[in-house]
């Protein structure tokens, strides 16, 4: 098998990865070239660097693996936005129209970079997350939990990996989403969703997690081996402008914070309650997953795998003894995951290749760094140490 190019883009953290015989040769987020944080654009700069660095061209590529299925994602958008009703009719049409244009543009762009014999494979969002986490781990068997905002329809996926095979054990579908709940409160607290969640996690230790326990219990609750969200407080399923409605403020008796507003104890207590609620559902999922497949190895993936506060309690609060979280568990890593899943699906009996090196992009020598510092000597003070 020749080269496989994995691509993730269109929402945030766009990236591309080049794989040969199961080995990840290179993988880079597009923001490293553009300087745009969480860049969502098609990763053409990354692809050009990969082709140049490893001396390949589009005719050397056997398959281009896109990290999700845009058609299925569009199906979710068309259906979920119906809840907005007549009041949001024109906004709904605008959202659908924009996403159709983006889908068509993606198809055209992918076709422009394919060789004569290159296959274009549209993957599955959460399966790409899961594949990245499992196939870059050292485990020959493990359970895998993927939690994020939303992919096509799925927001949470549970898998079991053994050898080169991945088997789905369970799923949670939109609009019930632990990731969207955390992002909605990130916005409620005056931070930017899909970027400021770490600020909310950092704010939580300064608050009282019990103060709003009753309110959070009305928003999200365990159900079987899954969970559900009461959507009467949220609008993220049909609006791309705001994630919650006024009922959320009434429930907490606190107005949503604007970015320039002071952070009060109310906000800190809400952050603490949110983190506590996240952990409650997170450990519910992990314990149910362990019952389904009693392996002591756990892989995490999806954007919520960045919740280090919760992750640090896994060994203490569950039966898992070993936990693996890859370097880029959000959409960026899915460029690798989509490509590796295709490779191992095509080669189910080959030996797994160790892909635990996170340094897969452009690098700079000491001479490069010294030259840059000299050029910026008026703006940047530097000292060189000889070791």
Whether 136 has a pLDDT exceeding 80, the answer reads yes
Residues in Cβ contact with 166 at an 8 Å cutoff, skipping those fewer than 6 apart: 127, 130, 131, 134, 144, 159, 160, 341
Report the pLDDT averaged over residues 278-306: 96
Pseudo-torsion of CA 327, 333, 339, 345, nearest 10°?
A: 70
DSSP state of 234: B
| pLDDT > 90 fraction of the chain, expressed in percent and rounded | 91
What is the pLDDT of the chain when averaged over all its residues?
95
pLDDT band at 123 (very low <50, low <70, confident <90, very high): very high
Tokens of 183: 């992002």
Query: What pLDDT does 214 receive?
Result: 97
| pLDDT > 70 fraction of the chain, expressed in percent and rounded | 100
Exposed e or buried b per residue across 41-73, where buried means at least 16 C-beta atoms within 10 angstroms of its C-beta:
ebbbbbbebbbeeeebebebbbbbbbbbbbeeb
Better-scored residue on pLDDT, 233 or 87: 233
* R_g over Cα of the chain: 22
Query: What pLDDT does 255 receive?
Result: 96
Query: What pLDDT does 86 receive?
Result: 77
Q: Report d(CA 97, CA 312) in Å as an integer.
A: 42
For residue 175, cis peptide bond before it (omega within 30 degrees of 0)? yes
Query: What pLDDT does 87 receive?
Result: 77
Query: What pLDDT does 1 receive?
Result: 72
pLDDT band at 88 (very low <50, low <70, confident <90, very high): confident
Report the pLDDT averaged over residues 276-295: 96
CA-closest candidate to residue 132, choices 171, 182, 166, 170: 166
Handedness of CA 339, 345, 346, 350 (dihedral sign): positive
Residues in Cβ contact with 366 at an 8 Å cutoff, skipping those fewer than 6 apart: none
Strand segments, DSSP code E, in 218-316 are 220-223, 226-229, 297-301
Give the helix/strand (H/E) hosting 20.
strand 15-20
CA-closest candidate to residue 283, choices 137, 178, 150, 167: 178
pLDDT band at 180 (very low <50, low <70, confident <90, very high): very high
Query: What pLDDT does 385 receive?
Result: 86
Report the pLDDT averaged over residues 336-358: 95
Query: What pLDDT does 337 receive?
Result: 98
Query: What pLDDT does 216 receive?
Result: 98
Q: Kindly tell me the burial class for residue 316, based on how many C-beta atoms sit within 10 Å of its own C-beta (0-12, 13-18, 19 or more).
A: exposed
Q: Out of 63-72, 79-88, 350-359, which region has the weakest mean confidence (pLDDT)?
A: 79-88
Q: What is the pLDDT of residues 246-273, one digit of tens each?
A: 999 999 999 999 999 999 999 999 999 9
């Amino acid at each position: 098998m020749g080269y496989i190019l994995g691509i993730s883009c269109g929402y945030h953290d766009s990236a591309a990865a080049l794989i040969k015989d199961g080995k990840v040769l290179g993988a880079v987020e597009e923001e490293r070239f553009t300087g745009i944080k969480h860049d969502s654009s098609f990763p053409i700069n990354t692809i050009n660097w990969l082709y140049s660095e490893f001396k390949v061209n589009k005719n050397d590529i056997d398959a281009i693996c896109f990290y999700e299925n845009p058609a299925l994602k569009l199906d979710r958008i068309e259906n979920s936005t119906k809840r907005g009703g007549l009041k949001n009719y024109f906004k709904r049409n605008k959202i659908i129209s924009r996403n159709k244009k983006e889908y068509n543009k993606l198809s055209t762009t992918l076709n422009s970079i394919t060789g004569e014999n290159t296959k274009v494979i549209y993957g599955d969002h959460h399966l790409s997350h899961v594949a990245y986490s499992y196939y870059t781990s050292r485990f020959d068997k493990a359970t895998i939990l993927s939690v994020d905002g939303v992919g096509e329809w799925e927001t949470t996926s549970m898998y079991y990996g053994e050898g080169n095979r991945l088997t789905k054990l369970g799923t949670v579908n939109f609009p019930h989403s632990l990731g969207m709940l955390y992002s909605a409160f990130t916005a409620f607290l005056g931070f930017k969703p899909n970027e400021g969640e770490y600020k909310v996690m950092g704010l939580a230790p300064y608050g009282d997690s019990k103060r709003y326990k009753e309110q959070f219990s009305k928003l999200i609750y365990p159900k079987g081996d899954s969970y559900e969200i009461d959507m009467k407080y949220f609008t993220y399923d049909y609006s791309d402008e705001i994630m919650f409605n006024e009922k959320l403020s009434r429930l907490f008796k606190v107005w949503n914070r604007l970015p320039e507003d002071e952070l009060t104890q109310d906000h800190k207590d809400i952050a603490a309650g949110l983190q506590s609620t996240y952990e409650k559902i997170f450990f519910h999922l992990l314990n149910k997953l362990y019952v389904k497949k009693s392996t002591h190895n756990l892989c995490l993936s999806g954007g919520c795998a960045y919740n280090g506060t919760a992750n640090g309690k896994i060994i203490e609060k569950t039966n898992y003894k070993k936990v693996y979280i890859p370097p880029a568990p959000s959409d960026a890593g899915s460029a690798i995951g989509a490509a590796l899943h295709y490779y191992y699906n095509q080669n189910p009996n080959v030996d797994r290749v160790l892909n635990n090196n996170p340094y897969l992009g452009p690098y700079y020598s000491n001479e490069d760094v010294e030259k840059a510092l000299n050029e910026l000597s008026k703006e940047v003070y530097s000292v060189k140490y000889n070791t």
